[in-house]
Amino acid sequence: MTTRRLASLTLLALATLPGMAGAQAYPSKSITLVVPFAAGGPTDVVARTLGAAMQKTLGQTVVIENKLGAGGTLAAGYVAKAAPDGYTFLIHHNGMATAPGLYRKLAYNPLTDFEYVSQVVDVPMTFLARKDFPAATPPEMLAYVKAQGNKLTLAHAGLGAVSQLCGMLFQKTVGVEFTTVPYQGTAPAMNALLGGQVDLLCDQTTQTVQHIKAGNVKFYGVTTRERVKLLPDAPTLEESGLKGFEVKVWHGIYAPKGTPTVAIDRFGAALRTALKDPAVMQRMTELGADIVPESKQTPEGLRSWLKPEIDKWGALIRSAGQYAD
Ligand code: MLT
C-alpha cells in the first residue's frame, strides 16, 4: 500500500470516528445547542423552534441545554471552552456584543474564541408594567415613574441581558433610577411581573405578545424605531418622547473556535432550511420575530455584524457607567 493511500484511509477512519465532525459521519450523534437563559423565555423559544425543525435535515436530535447565569456570559464562556468537535453550538443575542463593555473580566473574547454560523432572527422589545400599575397611557407611565424613581422595581435577566440593556437605556433616557431585580432569564422575570412582585419589565415580543394580547400586563410601547406589525396600535417609545430610543434584539449562532468547517456548513445549512420551513416562518411571525435576510444567514453575515455592534454598545455602556467585575 502506498503512503498516500494509507494516509487517506487513516483520514477516512478518523472522519467516521464517533465524536469527530468528519465529512462522512457528521452528525453521528445528538448536537447540543446551548441557550444562555431560562427555559420558556425568548431565547429558548427561538432555539427550540429552530432545533426541532433542524432535526429533520440533520437526522439527529438537537438538544437544548439552558446554561444560566451572569447575564448569558456563563453560557458563552462554556461554549468558548467546549470541545470544537461540531457537537456544541451557542445561540446568543446582543449580549455577545454588550458583554465586553459590561464586564471588566470576561472569560472569552467574542471576536477570537468562536466560529460563526449565522444570524437568525431580529426581535422587537416591549415596555411593560404589572397589570395593576397605576398608569394607563405612556405619558401617565412616564410621569409616574419620574415621580416614584427607585421606589419602583425593574426586573431583568442580568448584566448582559437585553432586558437589562433596555432597562438601562430607559432609565438613562428618562432620567430615573429604579431598583433593579435580576433573574436568570426573562421567563422567571415575567412570572414575577405577572405575580405583581415587580413593577416593570422590558422584554422581547417572543415572550410578551401572548401576555399583551391576553391583557395580563400593562403595555406602553415598542423599543424599535418603527411600529411593529404584530402590535400596530402600539407607539414606539420614541414617539412617546424618549428621543433616539432604540433596542432591537438580533440573534446569532456560534461554535467553539476550531470547529470543523464541515460541521459549521451542515449545521448552517440545516438552519437555513429551517428558516424557510413554512411552520417555522409562521411561528416566528406569531412571535413577532423577523427572520433575517439570506445575506445574514451566513458565517460572514454574523462575523461582520458583531464588531460594529461591540463598538456601538461599548460606547453607550461606557457613557452609562455600568460595569461588573
Ligand atoms: C431570555 O431568553 O430570557 C432573554 O432573552 C434574556 C434577556 O433579557 O436577554
Q: Which residue has the cell 467516521?
A: 16
The per-residue pLDDT string of the chain (325 residues; one tens digit each, 9 = 90 and over) reads 443 333 333 333 444 444 444 456 899 999 999 999 999 999 999 999 999 999 999 999 999 999 999 999 999 999 999 999 999 999 999 999 999 999 988 999 999 999 999 999 999 999 999 999 999 999 999 999 999 999 999 999 999 999 999 999 999 999 999 999 999 999 999 999 999 999 999 999 999 999 999 999 999 999 999 999 999 999 999 999 999 999 999 999 999 999 999 999 999 999 999 999 999 999 999 999 999 999 999 999 999 999 999 999 888 888 776 666 5
For ligand 1, the distance from its centroid to the CA atom of residue 235, given in whole angstroms, is 23
Q: Cell 395580563 maps to which residue?
A: 216
Q: Ligand 1 centroid to 263 CA: how many Å?
A: 27
Task: Please tell me if the domain spanning 29-122+249-320 has the same topology as the one spanning 124-222.
Answer: yes
pLDDT given at position 128:
98
Closest ligand 1 atom to residue 164 Cα is: 8
Ligand 1 atom nearest residue 162's Cα: 9
Q: For a substitution probing ligand 1, which of 163, 170, 193 has the most ligand atoms within 8 Å of its CB? A: 163
Residue of the CA atom closest to atom 8 of ligand 1: 163
Taking only the tens place, the pLDDT of each residue in 104-135 is 889 999 999 999 999 999 999 999 999 999 99
Q: Which CATH architecture fits 29-122+249-320?
A: 3-Layer(aba) Sandwich (3.40)
Position in ligand 1 atom list of the atom nearest CA 42: 2
What confidence score (pLDDT) does residue 193 get?
Answer: 98
pLDDT at 101: 92
Ligand 1 center–CA 89 separation, angstroms: 18
Architecture of domain 124-222: 3-Layer(aba) Sandwich (3.40)
Q: Which residues form ligand 1's pocket by a CB distance below 6 Å? A: 37-38, 41-44, 93, 95, 157, 161-163, 185-187
Residue 104: per-residue pLDDT:
87
Q: Give domain limits for the chain.
A: 29-122+249-320, 124-222
pTM of the entire predicted model: 0.91
Could you give the CA distance from residue 228 to residue 213 in angstroms, rounded to a whole number?
14
Atom number, ligand 1, closest to the C-alpha of residue 94: 9
